[in-house]
Amino acid sequence: MGNKPGRPKNQTARREALVDAAGRAIAERGLEGLRIKDIAAEAGMSAGSVLYYYPEMDELVLEVHRGAVERYLAARQGAADGATGAAARLRALVGSGLPGGSGDAVHGLLFELHRRADRSSGHATLMASLFAREVALYATVLEVGAAIGEFTLTEPVTDLARNLVALEDGYGLHIVSRNAELTPDVARRLLLGYARTVTGCPEL
């Protein structure tokens, strides 16, 4: 027997396409005004098809958040892995953690989704996990740099790593909020200045 008319042959692929479409819709319209028909339009399918795969909008938005976190972390890990030496890896991490501008789609989407954390334990867990894993990325580079003598750390590794991530988040929010006084270049310079101070590494 063949498939029923209109039934997708690959439901996993269709769900992934819906998550991607929802992410685009959220990035363009924000969460407050998000509607099923917006997602359907982005995905090129009917509103009924969206509801077939995701009867609850919250479930779909949570999947968008989960996917955005994983892609963002993979990109950051890749940036660090592509550099040689502790100083270069730290510079790469700093570069990968800041928005490229007010229209940065990845950071804009993450900031928008993080707004759900105060109302949803699922989103709160994802936000906390993202922070912890970013801290771990920085901590690894700082620990290796100290071990090979490139860095002389002024504070415990975890404290420094948390401060770096928090500074990124703070500067990033200003960048996506169109603060003309805090451009990506300025934010990067300030972050690297902090990194030089706490590592004693002039190469930063």
Structural contact between residues 109 and 23, judged by C-beta atoms closer than 8 angstroms? yes
Q: What is the mean pLDDT of residues 45-61?
A: 92
In the predicted structure, residue 64 carries a pLDDT above the cut 80: yes
56/50 Cα distance (integer angstroms): 10
| Res 69: pLDDT | 96
34/42 Cα distance (integer angstroms): 12
The model carries a pTM of 0.89
Structural contact between residues 26 and 109, judged by C-beta atoms closer than 8 angstroms? yes
Query: What share of the chain in percent tops pLDDT 90?
Result: 79
| Res 129: pLDDT | 96
The SS3 assignment for 172 reads helix
Query: What share of the chain in percent tops pLDDT 70?
Result: 96
91/89 Cα distance (integer angstroms): 5
pLDDT tens track for 67-121: 999 999 999 999 999 999 999 999 999 999 999 998 898 999 999 999 899 889 9
In the predicted structure, residue 191 carries a pLDDT above the cut 80: yes
Write out the DSSP string of 7-20. Answer: --S-HHHHHHHHHH
